[in-house]
């Protein structure tokens, strides 16, 4: 089974939350760990403590342990799984993609950052697993955008396998750029990360030279990696995503290729084809 | 030494904080007030990796600039992270 059963865990959590009306925050966190995070622990996050799994998923947009059971009950009324199964089979065949393990869960709709910029949908992908955190009211196109983004990561990570700690800033910029480009190509400009947009050549070149070029080989564990990707210390939010999208946009404007070929294309070939880099150097 | 004194003396240092209800936080001490310590959690990828969409970094709605606030009274243990972990 590729889409894993998260519904039974959610139903048990709702039942527990409804049984006692006055649970402490601590009790709610423990219930959330037991019914949502524990099923993931042994096969999917080996040798990791439950609070660490919970922290990690919460930071990436999983619903809060303090979410009302009524909201979770409403969320369960959506039939997201069958839509995702269809999308998965279609993308897997079109992109020659790998089999993966998919987990669909509610997102945290209380976070202003997620609401304003991502329509309260979030995700997280690995070579062997993929998490989709969807809002109660995610439209079909929003769901599709999130799935395309995350599964494109799984495909590219599968095409260029290496130790996770070996992935560099350049890998991340291109990975996110491809994902954002595919979403816009297939669904239109209004989908994807709202901070990501086309910028003029000079702006793109300035950002590239300032933030990515001197740091392109830094590993993902380096602090600067996340500063460039997510923003901070004078770097605009999601800068790495914007730079990646602009890079891929320029590559694809020149090279008429499909998504499948793009997902298999090496970083070097993409960079070699960007006129802007050779002209101005 | 109280947690407050410890945090005041080590602003800017990477630490691991375990709270009395078992939550584990790793980050750099940003500022301290008499009731809370604010840490900038270390990068999302230091722990369990993956590539995220919509990553917002902090829990319970704390804004980006402030960091994650942890009540000093809820801290069970606080310890420095070794330099190799940080860099």
Nearest residue, CB atoms, A59 vs list B49, B59, B87 = B59
Nearest residue, CB atoms, B45 vs list A51, A111, A220 = A220
Determine the pLDDT at residue B42. Answer: 65
Nearest residue, CB atoms, A59 vs list B24, B58, B61 = B58
Residue A141, pLDDT above cutoff 90: yes
**What's the structural domain count of chain B?**
1
Determine the pLDDT at residue B44. Answer: 46
Q: Are B43 and B28 in contact (CB under 8 A)?
A: no
Total Cβ atoms within 10 A of residue A143:
20
CB contact under 8 A, B23 and A29: yes
Q: CA–CA separation, A196 vs A241, rounded Å?
A: 7
- Inter-chain CB pairs, A–B, below 8 Å: 107
Q: Which residue of A has its CA nearest to B59?
A: A59
Backbone angles phi, psi at A98, to 5 degrees: -85, 160
**Which residue did the predictor score with more confidence, A100 or A56?**
A100
CB contact under 8 A, B21 and A29: yes
**Which residue did the predictor score with more confidence, B85 or A109?**
A109
Question: Which residues in B lie closer than 8 A to residue A48 (C-beta atoms)?
Answer: 48
CB contact under 8 A, A146 and B53: yes
Residue A34, pLDDT above cutoff 90: yes
Residue A254, pLDDT above cutoff 70: yes
CATH code of the domain covering residue B59: 2.30.30.100
Distance in Å, alpha carbon of B32 to nearest chain A alpha carbon: 20
Q: Which residue of B has its CA nearest to A180?
A: B53
> Which of B28, B47, B51 is the best residue to mutate to test the A interface, defined by the most A CB atoms within 10 Å of its own CB?
B51
Residue A42: band (very low, low, confident or very high) from pLDDT cuts 50, 70, 90: confident
Determine the pLDDT at residue B43. Answer: 53
DSSP string, B19-86: ETTS-EEEEEEEEE-SSEEEEEE--GGGTS--EEES----STT--TTT-EEEEGGGEEEEEEPPHHHH
**Of A210, A280, A221, which is closest to residue A243 (Cα–Cα)?**
A210
Q: CA–CA separation, B51 vs B18, rounded Å?
A: 26
Q: Give me the residue spans of the domains in chain A.
A: 7-159, 164-280
Determine the pLDDT at residue A209. Answer: 94
Residue A281, pLDDT above cutoff 50: no
Residue A43, pLDDT above cutoff 70: yes
Residue A154: band (very low, low, confident or very high) from pLDDT cuts 50, 70, 90: very high
* B64 close to A (CB below 8 A): yes
Q: CA–CA separation, B25 vs A51, rounded Å?
A: 10
Distance in Å, alpha carbon of A102 to nearest chain B alpha carbon: 14
Residue A234, pLDDT above cutoff 80: no
Determine the pLDDT at residue B82. Answer: 66
Residue A200: band (very low, low, confident or very high) from pLDDT cuts 50, 70, 90: very high
* A44 contacts: CB under 8 Å, gap ≥ 6: A101, A128, A129
Average pLDDT over residues A108-128: 90
Q: What string of pLDDT tens digits covers the 87 residues of chain B?
A: 899 999 998 887 888 899 887 888 888 787 889 999 988 776 544 457 888 888 765 443 333 345 678 899 999 999 987 654 443
pLDDT of A56-99, one tens digit each? 898 889 999 989 999 999 999 999 999 999 999 999 999 999 99
pLDDT of A165-183, one tens digit each? 789 999 999 999 999 999 9
Q: CA–CA separation, A75 vs B78, rounded Å?
A: 38
Distance in Å, alpha carbon of A211 to nearest chain B alpha carbon: 17
Question: At what angle are helices A169-187 and A239-254 packed, to 10 degrees?
Answer: 60
* B43 close to A (CB below 8 A): yes
CB contact under 8 A, A114 and B54: yes
Average pLDDT over residues A27-56: 88
Residue B79's domain comprises: 3-46+55-86
User: Which range, of A23-27, A51-55, B21-25, B81-85, averages the lowest pLDDT?
Assistant: B81-85
Q: Which residue of B has its CA nearest to A109?
A: B61
Distance in Å, alpha carbon of A247 to nearest chain B alpha carbon: 18
Determine the pLDDT at residue B64. Answer: 39
Question: Which residues in B lie closer than 8 A to residue A144 (C-beta atoms)?
Answer: none
Total Cβ atoms within 10 A of residue A269:
11
Question: Which residues in A lie closer than 8 A to residue B85 (C-beta atoms)?
Answer: none
What is the average pLDDT value for chain A, to the nearest integer? 91
C-alpha dihedral (A267, A271, A274, A280), degrees to nearest 10: 160
Determine the pLDDT at residue B83. Answer: 52
CB contact under 8 A, A55 and B59: yes
Distance in Å, alpha carbon of A280 to nearest chain B alpha carbon: 32
CB contact under 8 A, A146 and B44: no
Q: How far is the CA of A281 from the CAs of A61, A216, A264, B56, in angstroms?
A: 40, 17, 27, 35
Determine the pLDDT at residue A199. Answer: 95
């Amino acid at each position: 089974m590729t889409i894993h059963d998260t519904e039974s865990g959610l139903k048990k959590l709702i039942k527990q939350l409804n049984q006692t009306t006055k649970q402490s925050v601590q009790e709610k966190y423990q219930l959330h760990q037991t019914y949502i995070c524990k099923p993931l622990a042994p096969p999917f996050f080996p040798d990791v403590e439950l609070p660490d799994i919970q922290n990690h998923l919460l930071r990436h947009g999983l619903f809060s342990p303090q979410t009302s059971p009524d909201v979770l009950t409403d969320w369960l009324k959506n039939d997201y799984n069958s839509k995702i199964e269809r999308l998965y089979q279609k993308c897997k065949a079109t992109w020659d993609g790998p089999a993966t393990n998919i987990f669909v869960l509610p997102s945290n709709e209380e976070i202003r950052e997620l609401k304003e910029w991502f329509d309260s949908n979030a995700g997280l992908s690995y070579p062997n697993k993929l998490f989709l955190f969807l809002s109660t009211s995610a439209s079909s196109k929003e769901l599709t955008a999130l799935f395309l983004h995350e599964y494109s990561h799984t495909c590219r990570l599968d095409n260029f396998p290496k130790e996770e700690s070996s992935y560099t800033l350049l890998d991340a910029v291109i990975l996110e750029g491809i994902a954002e480009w595919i979403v816009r190509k297939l669904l239109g400009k209004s989908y994807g990360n709202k901070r990501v947009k086309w910028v003029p050549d000079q702006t793109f070149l300035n950002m590239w030279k300032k933030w990515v070029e001197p740091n392109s080989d830094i590993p993902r564990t380096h602090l600067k990696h996340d500063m460039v990707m997510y923003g901070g210390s004078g770097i605009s939010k999601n800068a790495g995503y914007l730079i990646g999208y602009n890079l891929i946009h320029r590559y694809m404007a020149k090279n008429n290729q499909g998504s499948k070929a793009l997902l298999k294309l090496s970083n070097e070939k993409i960079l070699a084809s960007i006129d802007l880099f050779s002209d101005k150097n | 030494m109280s947690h407050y004194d410890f945090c005041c003396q080590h602003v800017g240092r990477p630490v691991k904080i375990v709270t009395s209800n078992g939550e584990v936080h790793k980050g750099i001490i940003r500022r301290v007030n008499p009731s809370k310590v604010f840490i900038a959690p270390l990068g999302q990828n230091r722990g369990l990796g993956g590539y995220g969409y919509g990553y917002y970094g902090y829990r319970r709605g704390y804004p980006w600039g402030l960091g994650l606030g942890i009540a000093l009274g809820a801290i069970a243990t606080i310890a420095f992270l070794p330099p190799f972990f940080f860099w």
